[in-house]
């Protein structure tokens, strides 16, 4: 029990919303419990009342004045908390019990049971609550018990839906399936596996249902269906409103009880929603939040800056499309600003020539996608470019205004995202989404011309032109990726960034998409940056390769050198872990260990913990990029000693 409380406290501590709500709720419970101590007058006491005692304005004796019966409003208010909270709590327990039971039954049993329960819930959901409650209470005797029952019996629909969907989700989890496979009974699974997960959500839901129940009770009481002997806040308002407080100008008799209701309902709302957010944190990226990618630019020093001069200088500069120099990117913690940022990309440099295909290879989480997104300044809200330069044909992308940047995006550099299912707007036809890019960046305005261009593009990627008015969900996975490629080609860009364009596809389709990219590259003379973790693709498609590890360049060289004379131990290990058709007899060797977490990098070389050739220095000093050969670079201390 104490453990549960400790865990709960740890979760709640950082949520101001939950804390404020919990405090407000506890305070109202405190008032209700200690009503006899807090209230200056006993509402039950029989006192002789004269006309002069009715609706007395707030004064020293009655801080909130008196009501229509000459009673102290403050005392009534304090005792009213008892009744309002009692109704709220009991009614919501009934509602959550019914809703929870039905929800678990529906979610767990599935099939016909689920169908019947959910259909019934649907019906109850559309029948307006209050009129039904009014009718029910009006037909029975308006006693407190009846009111609790009616509110409870009508308030379970939301809980049932919530619990059902949660149960469905838990039921599919591996350990539940496993428990079932070894023969655990239904009751056991519900008790041991489903309840522990669903319970906390139900607690959060109960708090929200309490607020609804209290609102409902006060409404019923106000329209004259309350228990006239139980002076809840709603009943106080009913008496005040119907017994002349309005014409007597007795604002206190109407204001105070209402404030009590607002206080408790607000408390429950804050507390309940806060708990829900803790239990179901939502990952929010907000792509349109204020652009802060450059807010730390050149303000903080990057951890690593090498002085190596890259090969760019020995090539004719007109040939260079894109040049990235010493780029460093951090992810800050937007919730807790004081925490150390994660170093996603450190000191990466490369050049891209016209017609060149550059491969970017590395394990998941090594900063590949971050690097690519930064080229168009598309980092998520937490991303900060802290140092470096991105030069596109002589313009510094990092110093462009938002407007000029929008002119460059897609027109000069476009992107094929991984997972085209989510990268396309589900409610716009594929043709419209391609047309949008064309209209934005080219001079084509004539509808006929536009239509022809879209057909031409779809034809180019092998999609029948008559599918242009279809929506993304009507396409197969491979087709969607083709459509994405057509969209990327729409404005004839100079550079296309392909960020793992084949990850979610099956092998046959992967090969088709890669073939398509290769042929397009040759026909259109495209420059492509190809992000992948598949070395085979690199060998087939690329001219040069960057091998990234832990946000740094491990090795950067032509594709020949990478395959035939790898220098960095990581590159070698990577190649050993990759099947080679020409040496089938060789055994595949996995690299032991995992890539480092970007917020907890080792002090020295980031590969040191997994490196087979590690020396002492690797654990203390960060290796800089060294030129090992004319156009081959590697960041390894071993290169230096050679």
Q: Which is nearer to another protein, 122 or 456 (CB)?
A: 122
> Which residues in the 427-446 window bind another protein by CB under 8 A?
427-429, 436-437, 440-441
Sign of the dihedral through C-alpha 266, 267, 269, 273 = positive
Of 91, 225, 320, 390, which lies in the binding site for another protein, with binding defined by CB under 8 A?
225
If binding is defined by CB under 8 A, does position 145 make contact with another protein? no
> Which residues in the 179-218 window bind another protein by CB under 8 A?
211, 215, 218
CB of 469 to another protein, least distance (A): 10
Cβ-based neighbour number of residue 558 at 10 Å: 17
Segment interacting with another protein, rule: CB under 8 A, options 30-38, 314-322, 337-345, 422-430: 422-430
If binding is defined by CB under 8 A, does position 129 make contact with another protein? yes
Q: Which is nearer to another protein, 66 or 349 (CB)?
A: 66
Q: Are the C-beta atoms of residues 613 and 554 closer than 8 Å to each other? A: no
Q: Which is nearer to another protein, 158 or 341 (CB)?
A: 158
Distance CA 256, CA 448 (A): 69
Distance CA 215, CA 264 (A): 10
If binding is defined by CB under 8 A, does position 228 make contact with another protein? no
Q: Which is nearer to another protein, 336 or 583 (CB)?
A: 336
Among residues 153, 151, 155, 156, the alpha carbon closest in space to that of 99 is found at 156
Beta bridge partners of 383: 331
Of 15, 219, 306, 370, which lies in the binding site for another protein, with binding defined by CB under 8 A?
219
> Which residues in the 460-489 window bind another protein by CB under 8 A?
471, 473
Among residues 89, 8, 87, the alpha carbon closest in space to that of 274 is found at 8
Q: 329 — phi, psi (to 5°)?
A: -135, 135
Cβ-based neighbour number of residue 328 at 10 Å: 24
Of 94, 204, 261, 343, which lies in the binding site for another protein, with binding defined by CB under 8 A?
261
| Per-residue DSSP letter, 552 | E
Using CB under 8 A as the binding criterion, the count of chain residues that bind another protein stands at: 77
> Which residues in the 285-304 window bind another protein by CB under 8 A?
285-289
> Which residues in the 389-418 window bind another protein by CB under 8 A?
402-403, 405-411, 414-415, 417
CA 303 to chain centre: 29
Segment interacting with another protein, rule: CB under 8 A, options 124-132, 161-169, 199-207, 605-613: 124-132
CB of 180 to another protein, least distance (A): 27
Burial class (CB in 10 A: 0-12, 13-18, 19+), 311: middle
CB of 198 to another protein, least distance (A): 22
If binding is defined by CB under 8 A, does position 348 make contact with another protein? no
Q: Are strands 495-499 and 527-532 parallel, antiparallel or unpaired?
A: parallel
Q: Which is nearer to another protein, 384 or 610 (CB)?
A: 384
CB of 76 to another protein, least distance (A): 16
If binding is defined by CB under 8 A, does position 138 make contact with another protein? yes
Q: Which is nearer to another protein, 271 or 556 (CB)?
A: 271
CA 259 to chain centre: 36
Sign of the dihedral through C-alpha 573, 578, 583, 586 = positive
Q: CB-hemisphere CA count at 13 Å for 325?
A: 16
Report angle CA 263, 266, 268 to the nearest 5 degrees: 110
Reduce the DSSP state of residue 134 to 3 states and report it. helix
Segment interacting with another protein, rule: CB under 8 A, options 169-177, 259-267, 577-585, 615-623: 259-267
Segment interacting with another protein, rule: CB under 8 A, options 52-60, 98-106, 110-118, 132-140: 132-140
Of 185, 196, 249, 630, which lies in the binding site for another protein, with binding defined by CB under 8 A?
249
């Amino acid at each position: 029990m104490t453990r549960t409380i400790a865990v709960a406290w740890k979760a709640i501590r950082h949520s101001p919303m939950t804390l404020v709500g919990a405090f407000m709720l506890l305070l109202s419970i405190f008032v209700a419990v200690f009503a006899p101590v807090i209230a200056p007058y006993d509402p039950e006491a029989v006192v002789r009342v004269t006309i002069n005692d009715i609706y007395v304005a707030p004064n020293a004796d009655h801080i909130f004045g008196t009501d229509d019966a000459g009673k102290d409003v403050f005392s009534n208010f304090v005792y009213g908390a008892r009744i309002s909270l009692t109704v709220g709590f009991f009614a919501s327990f009934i509602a959550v019990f019914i809703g929870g039971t039905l929800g678990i039954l529906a979610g767990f049993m599935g099939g016909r049971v689920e169908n019947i329960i959910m259909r019934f819930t649907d019906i109850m959901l559309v029948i307006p609550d209050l009129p039904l409650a009014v009718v029910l209470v009006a037909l029975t005797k308006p006693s407190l018990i009846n009111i609790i029952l009616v509110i409870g019996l009508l308030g379970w629909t939301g809980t049932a839906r919530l619990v059902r969907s949660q149960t469905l989700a838990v039921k599919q989890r591996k350990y539940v399936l496993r428990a079932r496979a070894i023969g655990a009974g239904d009751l056991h699974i519900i008790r041991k596996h489903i309840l522990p997960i669903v319970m906390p959500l139900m607690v959060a839901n109960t708090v929200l249902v309490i607020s609804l129940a209290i609102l409902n009770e006060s409404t019923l009481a106000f329209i004259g269906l309350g228990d006239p002997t139980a002076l809840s806040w709603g009943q106080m308002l009913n008496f005040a409103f119907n017994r002349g407080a309005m014409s007597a100008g007795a604002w206190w008799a109407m204001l105070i009880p209402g404030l009590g209701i607002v206080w408790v309902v607000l408390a429950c709302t804050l507390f309940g929603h806060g708990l829900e957010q803790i239990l179901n944190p939502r990952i929010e990226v907000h792509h349109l939040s204020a652009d802060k990618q450059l807010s730390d630019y050149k303000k903080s020093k990057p951890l690593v800056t090498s002085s190596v001069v890259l090969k760019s200088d020995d090539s004719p500069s007109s040939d260079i499309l894109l040049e990235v120099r010493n780029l460093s990117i951090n992810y800050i913690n937007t919730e807790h600003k004081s925490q150390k940022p994660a170093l996603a990309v450190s000191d990466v440099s490369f050049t891209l020539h016209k017609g060149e295909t550059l491969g970017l290879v590395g394990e998941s989480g090594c900063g590949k996608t971050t690097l690519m997104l930064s080229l168009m300044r598309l980092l998520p809200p937490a991303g900060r470019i802290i140092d470096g330069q991105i030069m596109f044909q002589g313009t510094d992308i990092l110093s462009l205004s938002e407007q000029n940047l929008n002119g460059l995006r897609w027109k000069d550099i476009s992107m094929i995202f991984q997972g085209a299912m989510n990268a396309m707007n589900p409610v716009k036809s594929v043709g419209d989404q391609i047309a949008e890019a064309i209209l934005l960046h080219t001079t084509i305005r004539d509808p006929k011309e536009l239509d022809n261009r879209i057909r031409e593009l779809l034809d180019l990627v092998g999609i029948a032109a008559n599918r242009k008015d279809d929506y993304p969900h009507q396409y197969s996975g491979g087709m969607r990726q083709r459509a994405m490629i057509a969209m990327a080609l729409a404005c004839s860009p100079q550079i296309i960034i392909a960020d793992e364009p084949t990850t979610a596809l099956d092998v046959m389709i992967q090969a088709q998409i890669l073939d398509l990219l290769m042929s397009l590259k040759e026909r259109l003379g495209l420059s492509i940056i190809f992000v992948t973790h598949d070395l085979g693709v690199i060998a087939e498609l690329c001219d040069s390769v960057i091998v990234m590890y832990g946000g740094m360049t491990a090795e950067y060289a032509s594709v020949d050198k990478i395959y035939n004379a790898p220098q960095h131990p990581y590159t070698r290990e990577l190649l050993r872990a990759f099947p080679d058709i020409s040496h089938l007899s060789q055994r595949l060797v996995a690299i032991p260990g995992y890539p480092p977490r970007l917020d907890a990098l080792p002090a020295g070389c980031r590969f040191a913990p997994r490196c087979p050739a590690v020396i002492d220095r690797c654990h203390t000093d960060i290796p800089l990029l060294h030129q090992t050969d004319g156009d081959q670079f590697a960041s390894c201390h071993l290169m230096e000693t050679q």
